[in-house]
Structure 1
């Protein structure tokens, strides 16, 4: 898109109206607030819904299977962002992709809110995976459309938007967790559906007035020939999948475990292919190849970090439910409430970290050093949570403050890695693959959760010390190794700091 057209879009958006920012930030702030409210509220109780007995309103699945499904679910959500971004760039435009995604997410929550079985669970997951892939990456793109590249409010606008994400993620487990505890799972999922509906209502009622042309264009529309080509490819792949599934499922060859293993393979294979294609491309310069080599250890560190952080919604969720004393200071705690700790700590600590980096200036750690520190905190968060079993055994309930401390420590790592990783990705990306490299960054989370689908099978209360200890020590060892490699990695980054 030309600079003139970009400016035309910026000019179409009312530039004052939401804390000194474009009016459209109000629309996107509350759309994303409600979308995250619905997603994180659903996620906070979903693993319990899967493994609770039918008499308690659950589906009665084996707990290890439920934990593996949760990990695969998270992996597919991140993978689907690649498809959602492509559809926005080539077919819908970001605004329509966002809207269609919200509808699919809402339908997914509605499916969960109705009494059903495992089939209904998977139908819901399919809707939410596809819908989140269409909404999540594209809503951020629309935020960017509202600001000119020279607008000094741009970073602050994204910070306000990010606050909306974390506010939704903080409030929803508290509300939906309480409703699930007092009324039942389906009522909790219904509230998640209402949350997404509210987000869609805000978007539809205010987008024309507040967003102007932002998100309405298709940056790289398909030509007529390409439409025919891709329609044929999609039709062929759909028929092939239908035939394969039609043969393998009735014969017991395509099981849930096979699917989990396949997603695990894709989680590792897709980012590997991304690296190979970008490195070998004629569009990639020698300097950019060097930066790609520097990016590989950062990507591996990111996978290791997210493999630990994302277990907050699987292993630690189970730990909160089964190993934690849920009465504290006379208050009955819903296990889902612990899912609010991560966004709460981010809301409180993100401004502190931002101030700290500004204060330190050129004295702050390099990108590889920040990543190594993030891994150190991730490993420590797992070592902390094994201490209750070491001191009191695995047969007694644990003080909830141990879980709070574990979540707090891993958030310190997240604030060292997540925003730094986004920034480093934009700097290290080859010019011809800037958007795809950003997709690659999010695929580190997909790879991490694909790996988790295998790891969580090894967890049970009897071996929790070994489970937390092995993973925690592995993260710390990788942290030390990365710290020692940091100067060498910095050389490969070719002047990027």
Structure 2
């Protein structure tokens, strides 16, 4: 389909009907709700499943390797968003890419639900990683399609959309986590698979009526001659990868450890390459190049924040199970339940932030200022965890309230960065790279988790004061550095607020 005019796309979407937002937000809200239910439900028990002994229903993987796998898993999930963005921009359009991604995610959860051991783990990871890469960035891109560039509801709409994501994330650990830890990990993974199935149903039933033309076009379609070249290159690449795997795996050249180093390198190299390609592209005009330069420090700031936030399902999950008193007011707690704290706070606070930005209007803080505040809060969320160790040492169990406080602070930072970053990405993206720039935004999360794959190995309860203090302190310093350059960044944004 030929590229459509932005006004034509906006006019095709019913503009009132879902909390004062376009009706299409309903479709995307609940599609992402169920996708996140499946993903975060799985993540709530995956770490425990990996390092729990085989006789207790787990895989018996060492804790150090399990934490690295969790970080690499998260990095690859967001890293493949680049593939999803490219496919949407050049081949299928965002709507079709979302559907195929959802199907692959559902297949991945079904595989994980089967008792296939380590083989099932890595096979399911492959499907979920590719499927999430196809679905997640493109859902957000379609949200941006429904608003005109000057529509002041945009930030508010993204905040509501973000609340839907986190409603799925809130419910999932309570249901999947309880079933997985109480009865069987495989039963929990089965519930995650059903969640993705429901997301696909919502998308298929409502997209035609509510989304209009949003996401139906291919932004930068391949020419006929280019398609043959791309197919050839993909074929050659697949053959090369297969040969390398056949050589390196049996000879122990490619191990989990070397693979984590490779992904950590790619987590930085891929976004760097993408910035260079977009900046030098003849399809990018002068204003768009300036906005790309403004986007780079925001990307770095986001990467630092996500390196902290994503440890909530790794290091803080371990902290919940190994260092926290799992009893409160006579109620026995499951460690997986703490994964619901982040989305719980977001559900309550997202409407507050959305209303605040609308109320402030032109007086609201600039995007770079919001980012700097978010990074500082993320750093503080780690620094508060040094106090229970200072007060009582590292040999005693700590009150669950310390984890509650840490999750609360990181959520305040997240609401200053994540929905704002989604909105800023849709405004700063070069028109020829719209979906790919959204994929690049999610690459900031991938980069943060790729770095985490090396950092999480350093955690140990006996040295947690240094661990939380250094990482948190570095984030706070970088947040203030970004704040010092906010005015300069705004100049390069060329009128984008």
What is the TM-score when the length of structure 2 is the normalising length? 0.91
Report the equivalent of 1:45: 45
Kindly provide the CA deviation profile for residues 173-211 of structure 1, in whole angstroms up to 9, marking residues without a partner as x.
111111112212111101101111222233334445555
Between the aligned partners of 2:279 and 2:212, the Cα distance in structure 1 is: 39
Q: Secondary structure at the match of 2:485?
A: helix
Other-structure match for 1:58? 58
Match of 1:123, SS state, is helix
1:129–1:329: structure 2 CA closer, same or farther, 3 Å change rule?
Answer: same
Tell me what 2:295 maps to.
295
Instruction: Name the residue aligned to 1:181.
Output: 181
Q: Is this contact kept in 2: 1:10–1:214, CA < 8 A?
A: no
What is the CA-CA distance between 1:46 and the residue it aligns to?
Answer: 0.7
1:195 aligns with 2:195: yes
Looking at structure 2, the residues matched to 360 and 370 of structure 1 have their Cα atoms a distance apart, in angstroms, of 13
Q: Does 1:463 align with 2:433?
A: no
Change (3 A) 1:118 1:232: same
Tell me which moved more, 459-468 or 484-493. Answer: 484-493
Counterpart Cα distance in 2 of 1:8 and 1:485: 36
Bigger shift: residues 281-290 or 258-267: 281-290
TM-score, normalised via structure 1 length: 0.91
| More moved, 151-160 vs 93-102 | 151-160
| SS of residue matched to 2:325 | coil
Determine the C-alpha separation between the residues in 1 that align with 2:6 and 2:479. 45
Which deviates further from its counterpart, 309-318 or 96-105?
96-105
SS in 2 for 1:443: helix
CA distance in 2, matches of 1:73, 1:188: 19
Structure 2 match to 1:33: 33
Residue of structure 1 in register with 2:8 after alignment: 7
Q: CA deviation at 1:45?
A: 0.9
Give CA-to-partner distance per residue, 1:153-181, whole Å, 9 cap, x none: 66655444333212111111111111112
Which residue is 1:357 aligned to? 357
Displacement after TM superposition at 1:215 (Å) = 4.2
- Please name the residue that 1:120 is paired with: 120
Corresponding residue for 1:445? 445
Distance 1:100 1:149, change over 3 A: same
Q: Give CA deviations for 1:197-241 in whole Å, capped at 9, x if unaligned.
A: 222233334445555655444444444322221111111111111
Instruction: Say which is worse superposed, 121-130 or 155-164, in terms of deviation.
Output: 155-164
Larger RCO: Structure 1 or Structure 2 (Cα < 8 Å, ≥ 6 residues apart)? 2
Pairing 1:125-136 to 2, within 5 Å after superposition? 125-136=125-136
Other-structure match for 1:271: 271
| CA separation of 1:425 and 1:98: change in aligned 2, threshold 3 A | closer
Cα–Cα, structure 1 residues 243 and 430, in superposed 2: closer, same or farther, change >3 Å? same
Q: Which residue of 2 aligns with 1:172?
A: 172
- Give the gaps of 5 or more residues in structure 2: none
Cα 1:452–1:189 shift into 2, 3 Å: same
Cα distance in 2, alignment partners of residues 279 and 91 from structure 1: 22
Can you give the 5+ residue segments of structure 1 that lack an aligned partner in the other structure?
none
Q: 1:290 to 1:5 in 2, by over 3 A?
A: closer
When structure 1 is superposed on structure 2, of 73-82 and 195-204 the one drifting more is 195-204
SS at match of 2:396: coil
1:74 maps to 74
Whole-Å Cα distance in 2 between the matches of residues 255 and 296 of structure 1?
A: 33
Shift in alpha-carbon separation, 1:294–1:27, aligned structure 2, 3 A: closer
Check the 8 A contact 1:7/1:148 in 2, yes or no: no
How many residue pairs were aligned?
496
Aligned partners of 1:10 and 1:145 also within 8 Å: no
SS at match of 1:61: coil
The answer to whether structure 1 residue 100 and structure 2 residue 67 are counterparts is: no
1:384 matched to 2:384? The reply is yes
Q: Deviations over 1:450-470 (max 9, x none)?
A: 000000000111111111111
Structure 1 residues 461 and 438: CA distance shift in structure 2, 3 A: same
CA distance in 1, matches of 2:212, 2:495: 39
Quote the offset at 1:311 in angstroms. Answer: 0.5
Question: Relative to structure 2, which stretch is displaced further, 208-217 or 369-378?
Answer: 208-217
Identify if the C-alpha distance between structure 1 residues 60 and 161 changes in structure 2 by more than 3 Å, giving closer, same or farther.
Answer: same
Q: CA deviation at 1:82?
A: 1.5
